[in-house]
Structure 1
Amino acid sequence: MRLKVDGKEVEAREGALLLEVAEVPTLCHHPHTETQGLCRLCLVEADGRLLPACATRAQEGMEVRTETEELRTYRKTLLEWLALTTDLSLAPDLQALLARYGADPGRWGEVAGRKEREVLRDNPFFLRDYARCVNCRRCVDACGDGIMGVYALTWEGRGLLAHPTTPLGRPLPETPCVFCGNCVQVCPTGALRPLALEVG
């Protein structure tokens, strides 16, 4: 099928996501998990509507715009608030996006709500540092339906208080975790990282 992306005609296979045919920034999407449409960083304008590129299928004749002034402003603001509330120092891809969109978290002044959480060291392989978590849910999905199907990680809380955890808050060795490392591999911020890379 053929559609237009930023004014140029492109070919797309039947059933392709817009994320596959357009270069769009994303955070929650990962090719090996099923998480879709959470972060909203990949919003595009498709036939006059704002839609997440990671959850929208390409259609014949569709007209897609990926970098309108409205979308750039939206992404800039979203990234600024992520930087205000979360430690992104181990997230080079997000830091690059902050630079790309000219994000300046400081323009909002002092904002309450910075995540402060104790680093969890409950196993010999990796640590859980949820002060760095951007709530993308990749780890929970990788542990559950996306890859492993063991469900050693789950979700708790809402809004800024939301974060991955274990069932009943148990230490990882007391869960079905098999320490495969898939959750660490899909984490984009270092919230889950090997003990060998521990900082601070």
Structure 2
Amino acid sequence: MSDAALFTLDGEDVPFEPGETILQAARRAGRYIPHLCWHPEFAPHGSCRICTVKVDGRMGAACTVRAASGLDVQSATEELNAQRKTLLQMLFVEGNHFCPSCEKSGNCLLQATAYQMGMEGPHFEELYPDRRVDASHPDMLLDLNRCILCELCVRASREVDGKNVFAIAGHGIAAHLVVDSESGRLVDTGFAATDRAASICPVGVILPKRRGFVIPIGQRRYDEGTAADADRQEAS
């Protein structure tokens, strides 16, 4: 890596390898950029826009913009964090997120990122959409109330499991997660509890049955640290 393979992130130099995105390079350097739909196992998706940064004064998703020498990247600014907070507030009101009763509380990336951004309430009027819970599968539960349309389960099922169990249907506010069966029920697909798609959901949509609340409070992923702490630990 040459001395020129550097960009600045909030005024500090960050080295990068050829082909890395801004987000990848930042994580490797121990620098946190908030994100929801990005995952190290898959190609960048750029759908949630939580990782939006300013690159030489122009907005771009840190998970898709390639790092380049001399870029001036801003992330931890009041403006960008306010935008992230607004996006998170919109995600909370578009679904039915009742954190105190959710099995993923303490292990939920959406919840942890909201804390990280200082979100104290939904701000917008809650929509309370009528979404179903699919308990048809013998081993897994599908609670569509919490889906944030990150498409991680879609990509995992397609690219790792080779099954194409999940897809996103509809557009805009009507977009929703569907399963590949005539009945629309998870039990009528080839989905298995051992699939990568069964364990990749960052929120509480895809859950194993008969294992509820097995991790005690205080030992969950974000109980002892922030989303930034967990991200740095995973990247190291």
Q: TM-score, normalised by structure 1?
A: 0.88
1:33 aligned to 2:42? yes
Which residue pairs with 1:193 in the alignment?
A: 207
Q: Which runs of 5+ in 2 are unaligned?
A: 27-31, 214-236
Residue type at the aligned position of 1:12: F
More helix by share: 1
Distance 2:69 2:177 in 1: 39
Shift of the 88–149 alpha-carbon distance from structure 1 to 2, 3 Å rule, reads farther
CA shift at 1:192, angstroms?
A: 0.5
Q: 1:73 aligns with which of 82, 94, 119?
A: 82
CA shift at 1:197, angstroms?
A: 4.0
Shift of the 83–46 alpha-carbon distance from structure 1 to 2, 3 Å rule, reads same
Which residue pairs with 1:114 in the alignment?
A: 128
Percent identical: 32
Q: TM-score, normalised by structure 2?
A: 0.76
CA shift at 1:95, angstroms?
A: 1.9
Distance 1:14 1:34 in 2: 16
Which residue pairs with 2:33 in the alignment?
A: 24
Q: 2:179 aligns with which of 162, 166, 181?
A: 166
CA shift at 1:76, angstroms?
A: 0.8
Any idea what SS the aligned residue of 1:196 has? coil
CA shift at 1:34, angstroms?
A: 3.1
- State the aligned residue count: 196
Which residue pairs with 2:148 in the alignment?
A: 134
Contact 1:5–1:65 at 8 Å: present in 2 too?
Answer: yes
Which residue pairs with 1:82 in the alignment?
A: 91
CA shift at 1:5, angstroms?
A: 1.1
**Larger deviation, residues 127-136 vs 88-97:** 88-97
Contact 1:33–1:147 at 8 Å: present in 2 too?
Answer: no
Residue type at the aligned position of 2:6: R
Residue type at the aligned position of 1:118: R
1:149 aligned to 2:149? no
